Amino acid sequence: MPQPLQLFGTDGIRGRAGVYPLTPETVLRLGQAVAEVFANQQGSIDEPTLSDRFNRDWPTVVIGKDTRQSCDMLEAAIAAGLNSRGVDVRLVGVIPTPAVAMLTKEINANFGIVISASHNPFHDNGIKFFGPDGYKLPDEMEAAIEARLVSEESFGEIGKIGRTAPMENAVDRYVHFVCEGVEDHLADGLKIALDTANGASFETSEAILKHLGAEVVTFHNRPNGVNINEECGCTHGEVIEELVRETGADVGISHDGDADRVLLADETGSVLDGDELMAIAGVDLIAQGRLAKDTVVATIMSNGGLEEALEKVGGKVVRTGVGDRSVVAEMRRDGLNFGGEQSGHLIFRDFNTTGDGIVAAVQFLRIMKRREQPLSELRKLMTKFPQAQRNIRVREKLPIEELKVASDLITETEATLGSAGRTLVRYSGTEPLLRLLIEGKDSDYIEKQADLIAAAIKAQIGE
């Protein structure tokens, strides 16, 4: 069995900036390691082999980042590591994660790098990679990079040194990329409340929506290095709800720090989560004959009401493990074109290779216009099953079976729910959290059991 990765989680390497592994020294070595792995790798990513692409004169890498203050330090460190191995670096500055995926593919770069901790607070940061095809790296590539990074073997001399330079008009190129995929004047007459989480989309999303004809009232678009995701963005749904009510907007759009997620609020100021959005898009794509194999890819965390909504129109749901990488991997494996997560990672694969918050938002504006219905009506396509969720901060990640009291309660809960519900317990791949989800038809019962299980977990391994 392959050894579990210690540094790479569900979305790259993530942790507190300035603390191992996100120190300048380690990140410089990471740049050297990823350059060496890409140079030596044979055929792990489609057409052509990585070594063929990498060994051309002056291989090139795209690096983008979000707005947190530690990004400059990490950007400089990894760029230096890449330069020292003969790799040219193109800096695209502050830009959404999906823009890096797009630009990597567009300029035929060898790979792309994003410096971001997504929805995490400013003191955290992270590094994730895209292959030359715009998709996140497969597990075996990440394992090879990590093995080279932590090995004690030094990096030998190389005959050339790369250079670092900015890429001109990167923001404009991404704005054009999103807008060219939809009809002009799509959002004419719409008033949109926009929350950019003081993050990577603070320029791009407003520009895209205005280009499409919307009246945009933008909030949390003044990043200062430490206010990213601070009481704003799509992890704080109550904020966009209130902004919609205050502004009288027709729809609210909220991103996370790197804008690969989206949360929408209807005109009444009520948010729709990723499951509701997947139901709306899935049903609409089926009606247009554009949903590949009439199948939506979702994760084990998605609400059972999503399956029920799609089954009514002849569709189905395929479930994967947690993380948009798992969703995209399944989509690619089976030739599917739409999927996502309850958290708001939505992948419209006909438009981009990864979760893209503004691409997703624009697709829902299209659905609203085509069906001539507001989100408050469209959301009626799905009836949610009651769910109880708890995020428990932990000091260590013991195997679930070693959480004796909690395990007994979980077994008892599963027996009571039977086929009418489910219980999921897993550790976060990016934070010191244990995530608990119980789904069933009796909301009082599942809330009570969630509290009991959470209390047992806290008593044994809680911070």
Structure tokens that stand for 234 in this block? 């799509």
CA–CA dist 196, 205 (Å, integer): 8
pLDDT of 4 reads: 59
CA 381 to chain centre: 25
Report in angstroms the alpha-carbon separations of 229 from 6, 71, 201, 233, 357.
26, 15, 12, 6, 15
CA–CA dist 269, 129 (Å, integer): 36
End-to-end, the C-alpha distance of the chain in Å comes to: 31
CA atoms within 13 A on the CB side of 94: 23
Report in angstroms the alpha-carbon separations of 291 from 57, 284, 411.
41, 9, 38
**Residues 54 and 110 sit within 8 Å (Cβ to Cβ):** yes
Q: Quick one: DSSP state of residue 425?
A: E
Q: Is-cis flag, bond preceding 166, omega within 30?
A: no
- Rg value, the chain, Cα: 22
pLDDT of 57 reads: 57
What are the residue numbers of the active site? Answer: 118
Phi-psi region at 220: left, alpha or beta (left = phi > 0; alpha = psi -120 to 50): left
Percent above pLDDT 70 for the chain: 95
pLDDT tens for 374-402 read 999 999 999 999 999 999 999 999 999 99
Strand partners, 330: none
Report the CATH architecture of 272-356: 3-Layer(aba) Sandwich (3.40)
Question: Which run of H or of E encompasses 308?
Answer: helix 304-311
User: Which residue bears the tokens 């499409």?
Assistant: 212
CA–CA dist 108, 444 (Å, integer): 54
Report the CATH architecture of 387-461: 2-Layer Sandwich (3.30)
Same fold, 272-356 and 387-461: no
| In the chain, where the domains are located | 8-168, 173-270, 272-356, 387-461
pLDDT tens for 223-262 read 999 999 999 999 999 999 999 999 999 999 999 999 999 9
pLDDT of 47 reads: 40
pLDDT tens for 7-54 read 998 789 999 999 999 999 999 999 999 999 998 874 343 444 444 444
pLDDT tens for 414-451 read 999 998 889 999 998 778 999 999 999 899 999 999 99
Return the CATH superfamily for domain 8-168.
Answer: Alpha-D-Glucose-1,6-Bisphosphate, subunit A, domain 3 (3.40.120.10)
Q: Quick one: DSSP state of residue 416?
A: H
Structure tokens that stand for 107 in this block? 């300029």
Report the CATH architecture of 173-270: 3-Layer(aba) Sandwich (3.40)
The arithmetic mean of pLDDT across residues 142-168, rounded, is: 91
